[in-house]
A and B are shown apart, each in its own frame.
Chain A
Amino acid sequence: MKYKDYYSALGVERNASEADIKTAYRKLARKYHPDVSKEAGAEEKFKEISEAYKTLKDPEKRKAYDQLGSHRPGEEFRPPPDWGVHFGGGGFSFEDLDLSDLFESLATGRRGGARRGRPTSVAGQDYEVTAHITLEDAFHGSMLDLSLTVPEYDEQGLLQRVPRTFKVRIPKGATEGQRMRVPGRGGKGVNGGRDGDLYLNIALHPHALFRPSGHDLYLELPLAPWEAALGATVQVPTLAGPVALKVPAGTRAGQKLRLTGRGLPTPKEGAGDLFAVAQIVVPTVLSEREQKLFKELADASTFNPRGHFEQETSHAR
């Protein structure tokens, strides 16, 4: 089992008071709690802090922790031989165990599991993981391989960490930030308690072309000035393959052209829309003939794109 320094995780001395430990935890929790923090690595950091606090805030668990002795973080160690007996814990397979499981099992033992009388059933833990998927996966639906290492009691009643691998089918139409539940795939219940659930938090990888907003998708549509002015039929990509889009004459930059039902599928039926956002682009290098034609257009046209400037400034006068 690897040693973890719970005191340094909270940034406190080994002789810190309960109040100091609470203050240190609260300060760090506000900074790293996954529900309130957007910092990179916040989730992992919060797990460390929370695990340390759960043990150190409880005088009995803190005493048990202190009796493990002081080791270097990450150092392999074994608790003293009579350690588990003192603290009412059952059997442990220390090799495959995480320190947090050890203290969690002490809590379970105290709640009734290891005491005399009718054992109390304890529901398995819920887990929450972020599932990163591509926009294509969100559109078509996908299979995701998940590997978790979870604490479990074996047939001899020994608590150990076991790897669990399973496939989950992510239905089509998943959106950013959507939560999904995988029933019964959390921690195993104890003494007949129900198994915990696994929650997936969907995160979409950024896409080179499409920007999602809920079930709608946005695509930047570059148009040549003559296409925007005269109208054109252009080929645009969608997640289901290219389609022809009729760009009306007089299309302005920023105008959104809707392709109904070409967004992400919605749960029951139908789909969001795809919006092609017009962008007028000009060639950076002009041939002699192009230059001549543009010049001719400039001379012939009475169009003043800044007409409203004059109107607005004359009001102000």
Chain B
Amino acid sequence: MRVELTEVVRIEEHQELSLSELAELSRLSEADLRRLQELGVIAPVDPGAAERTFRAECLVVARTACRLQQDFELDVQGVALALALLDRIRVLEAELQQLRATSLQTG
């Protein structure tokens, strides 16, 4: 069987994404993305720009938002709250991992 080689793309390596690109890749509607932006979940690179672009990391957030919205049947406000809590967990887990990595093993 022929095995094709595929290059992977680190998400942060993408160029900035327009609102429509972010919608296409994350499968969220542009309206929901705008609501998430109003709620401060995702932020455009330059809020004053005529055409807003988003850092590629927003794709991970938007994809999670899409999953939460579909799987828990949440409204955008609920998604924003869940994302804020998940982000706190992510930060705490990173701190925990850092503490575990730096602490001495006893015994």
Contact A29-B1, Cβ < 8 Å, known A200-B8, A267-B10: no
Residue A179, interface by CB 8 Å = yes
Residue A213, interface by CB 8 Å = yes
Q: How far is the CA of A168 from the CA of B5 in the complex (A)?
A: 6
Residue B75, interface by CB 8 Å = no
A181 touches B9 (CB 8 A): yes
Contact A213-B13, Cβ < 8 Å, known A26-B72, A33-B71, A145-B3: no
8 Å CB interface, B1-60 against A: 1, 3-14, 24-25, 27, 59-60
Contact A212-B72, Cβ < 8 Å, known A35-B64, A165-B3: no
Majority secondary structure, A binding face: strand
Residue A183, interface by CB 8 Å = yes
A182 touches B8 (CB 8 A): yes
Q: Give per-residue flags for A195-219: 1 if the beta carbon is below 8 A from chain B beta carbons, else 0.
A: 0010110000000000111101110
B8 touches A166 (CB 8 A): no
A29 touches B72 (CB 8 A): yes
A220 touches B105 (CB 8 A): yes
Q: How far is the CA of A50 from the CA of B11 in the complex (A)?
A: 27
Number of residues of chain A lying within 8 A (CB) of chain B? 46
Residues of chain B with a CB closer than 8 A to A143's CB: 5
B10 touches A180 (CB 8 A): yes
B9 touches A182 (CB 8 A): yes
Contact A180-B11, Cβ < 8 Å, known A165-B3, A166-B4, A169-B5: yes
B11 touches A218 (CB 8 A): no
Residues of chain A with a CB closer than 8 A to B24's CB: 123, 194
Q: Give per-residue flags for A222-260: 1 if the beta carbon is below 8 A from chain B beta carbons, else 0.
A: 000000000000000000000000000000011010000
A214 touches B94 (CB 8 A): yes
Residues of chain B with a CB closer than 8 A to A220's CB: 104-105
B67 touches A165 (CB 8 A): no
B13 touches A267 (CB 8 A): yes
Q: Give per-residue flags for B64-77: 1 if the beta carbon is below 8 A from chain A beta carbons, else 0.
A: 10011001110000
Residues of chain A with a CB closer than 8 A to B86's CB: 35-36
B8 touches A180 (CB 8 A): yes
Residues of chain A with a CB closer than 8 A to B10's CB: 171, 178, 180, 267
Residue A114, interface by CB 8 Å = no
User: Smallest distance from the beta carbon of A44 to chain B beta carbons, Å?
Assistant: 15
Q: How far is the CA of A216 from the CA of B3 in the complex (A)?
A: 34
A166 touches B104 (CB 8 A): no
Residues of chain B with a CB closer than 8 A to A180's CB: 8-11
User: Smallest distance from the beta carbon of B16 to chain A beta carbons, Å?
Assistant: 15
Q: Give per-residue flags for A25-48: 1 if the beta carbon is below 8 A from chain B beta carbons, else 0.
A: 010011001011000000000100
Residues of chain A with a CB closer than 8 A to B64's CB: 35
Q: How far is the CA of A169 from the CA of B71 in the complex (A)?
A: 31
B8 touches A181 (CB 8 A): yes
Contact A166-B5, Cβ < 8 Å, known A33-B71, A50-B71: yes
User: Smallest distance from the beta carbon of B72 to chain A beta carbons, Å?
Assistant: 6
What are 10 A-B interface contacts by the 8 Å CB criterion?
Answer: A33-B68, A46-B71, A126-B63, A143-B5, A166-B4, A171-B8, A182-B8, A211-B100, A256-B102, A267-B13
Going nearest first, the 8 A-B pairs with the smallest beta carbon separation are A211-B101, A218-B101, A213-B101, A180-B8, A213-B98, A181-B9, A167-B5, A166-B4
